[in-house]
Amino acid sequence: MLSTIDLAYWLPVIFAGLMVVSMFAYVVLDGYDLGVGILLELETDTKEKDKMIASIGPFWDANETWLVLGVGLLLVAFPLAHGIILTALYLPVALMLLGLILRGVAFDFRVKARAHHQPLWNRLFFVGSLLATVSQGVMLGRYITGFAPGWGAWGFALLVGVSLAAAYALLGAGWLLMKSTGKLQQRAIVWAQGSLWIAILATVLVSVATPWISPRVFALWFSVPNVFLLAPVPLMTAILFAVIGFALPRLAQRQRNGNDNFCWIPFTATVGIVLLSFFGLVFSIFPHLVIDQLTIWQAASSPEALLIMFCGAAIVLPTIIGYTIYSYYVFWGKAGELSYE
């Protein structure tokens, strides 16, 4: 049987892992939702807009719950870090919440409000999605620099914000590519191509800027033997970007001939890139929760509180994953018209 000391060591590690998993699930799942919201502005036809939203309608609510779980885990498993991090991120958090609220209510208002109000809600859907995305990027940028003051650090945070918007747009376009047909599918390919280049540029900029801004990250990644061991991470990212860049024109060609096999490649490859980015981020930060200030063990709740949550999570999380898969199975394939009938 594990002693209390072991539990005090392992439980925070497990909960940090769970937190990373929920944040990853959130970024991928709400990432495509928010990406579709950002792309909504590029589509002028109302009927096509309806189709775009129909592709995310049954999922967005549960997708957003992963954020509640991720932040909830930070709150309940690492209360000290929750206070420090979210107090430091007070303004971007408030703006993100504003964005998420506008986006979330626009789902319903855009179809239920009076006809002449509907364009306003479509616009708010886009504004909310973009605001939430950029704010999340800014939060990440502020977090990576350990909330450093000064214009340089804020400029970096804003850069991450724009990068995340490109990444989400790429996810969203990849999602639409899988869930749509015809004209919308063609447009999704164009959007994917556009956001791909911004995403590549942004990834390069962030990858260069992060070690430049943080000597600690520089030392971690560019010391021997790490520099060799970690080489596969940027390499695989580059390969995945190349795969998307290679696949898109070919998908466009096939799509014109009514064949959309392999339409899942851009989305899946983008998820792979997000996964690699997560690995890079976690590798740079672990075991800190607040960089250079607080480790996961210093910030953790008491072992007995973590243990009772762990028991619950061990039973409930697999169930959640099970019925989430079921829900994706029910709405598998091309998205139809969104209707309560």
Partner 1 sequence: MLPEATGLLDPIVLARIQFAANITFHILFPTISIAMGWALLFFKLRFNATGEQKWLDAYGFWVKIFALTFALGVVTGITMSFQFGTNWPGFMKTVGNIAGPLLAYEVLTAFFLEATFLGIMLFGQKKVSNRIHTLATVLVAGGTTLSAFWIIVLNSWMQTPVGFEMINGQAHATDWLAIIFNPSMPYHLSHMLVASGLTVAFLLAGVSAFRWLKGQRDASIMASLKTGVFLAAALIPLQILIGDMHGINTLKHQPAKIAAIEGIWHTERGAPLTLFALPNAETQSNDYAIAIPKLASLILTHDLNGELQGISEFADHPPVAKVFWSFRVMVGVGMLMLLVSWLAAWQLRGGKTLSPMVCKLLIGMTFSGWVATVAGWYVTEIGRQPWLVYGVLKTSDAASNVGGGMILSTLIMYLTLYAFLLVSYISVVFYLAKKAGHPAQEQ
Q: How far is the CB of 319 from partner 1 (least distance, A)?
A: 9
Judged by CB under 8 A, the stretch of 53-61, 144-152, 210-218, 251-259 that binds partner 1 is 53-61
Among 24, 26, 32, 107, contact with partner 1 (rule: CB under 8 A): 107
With a CB cutoff of 8 Å and minimum separation 6, the contacts of 62 are 29, 324, 327
Rounded distance between C-alpha atoms, residue 321 and residue 298, angstroms: 30
Taking the C-alpha atoms of residue 177 and residue 335, their distance in angstroms, rounded to an integer, is 11
Burial-class residue 251 by CB neighbours within 10 Å (0-12, 13-18, 19+). Answer: buried
Residue 264 binds partner 1, judged by CB under 8 A: no
Nearer CB in complex with partner 1: 107/191:
107
Torsion angle, alpha carbons of 265, 271, 273, 277, to 10: 180
Q: How far apart are CA 304 and CA 48, in angstroms?
A: 52
Question: What letters, b where the CB count within 10 A reaches 16 and e where it falls short, cover 95-113?
Answer: bbeebbebbbebbebbeee
Q: Is 341 in the site for partner 1 (CB under 8 A)?
A: yes
Is residue 97 a contact residue for partner 1 (CB under 8 A)?
Answer: yes
Q: How far is the CB of 135 from partner 1 (least distance, A)?
A: 12
Q: Which of 127, 177, 188, 313 binds partner 1 (CB under 8 A)?
A: 313
Tell me how far, at minimum, the Cβ of 226 lies from partner 1, in Å: 34
Nearest distance from C-beta of residue 49 to partner 1, angstroms = 13
The verdict on 294 binding partner 1 (CB under 8 A) reads: no
CA distance 27 to 164: 10
In Å, how far are 69, 167, 275, 280, 281 from 228, measured between CA atoms? Answer: 35, 27, 20, 14, 17
Determine the Cα–Cα distance for residues 55 and 336; give it in Å rounded to an integer: 8
Strands 294-295 and 288-290, bridge-based pairing: antiparallel
Contact between 220 and partner 1 (CB under 8 A)?
no
Query: Residue 62 is encoded by which pair of tokens?
Result: 């549960």
Nearer to partner 1, 72 or 211 (CB): 72
CA distance 38 to 137: 14
Among residues 13, 21, 42, 98, the one that binds partner 1 under rule CB under 8 A: 98
> What residues from 230 to 259 belong to the interface with partner 1 (CB under 8 A)?
none
- The answer to whether the CB of 60 falls within 8 A of the CB of 33 is yes
31 makes contact with partner 1 (CB under 8 A): no
Residue 331 sits in the site that holds partner 1 (CB under 8 A): yes
Residue 6 lies near partner 1 (rule: CB under 8 A): no
Among 113, 190, 208, 242, binds partner 1 (CB under 8 A): 113
Least Cβ distance, residue 63 to partner 1 (angstroms): 8
Which of 4, 226, 253, 327 touches partner 1 (CB under 8 A)? 327
CB-wise, 43 or 64, nearer to partner 1? 64
What DSSP state is assigned to residue 147?
S
* Residues in binding contact with partner 1, number by CB under 8 A: 63
- Between residues 15 and 191, which has the closer beta carbon with respect to partner 1? 15
Q: How far is CA 7 from the centre of its chain?
A: 31
The token duo for 134 is 């950029």
80, 153, 158, 159: which one contacts partner 1 (CB under 8 A)? 80
* Smallest separation (angstroms) from partner 1 to the CB of 9: 18
Q: CA 163, CA 31: separation in Å to the nearest integer?
A: 12
Is 119 among the residues that bind partner 1 (CB under 8 A)? no
Residues near partner 1 (CB under 8 A): 57-59, 61-62, 64-65, 67-69, 71-77, 79-80, 82-83, 85-87, 90-91, 93-94, 97-98, 100-105, 107-109, 111-114, 301-302, 304-305, 308-309, 312-313, 316-317, 320, 323-324, 327, 330-331, 338-341
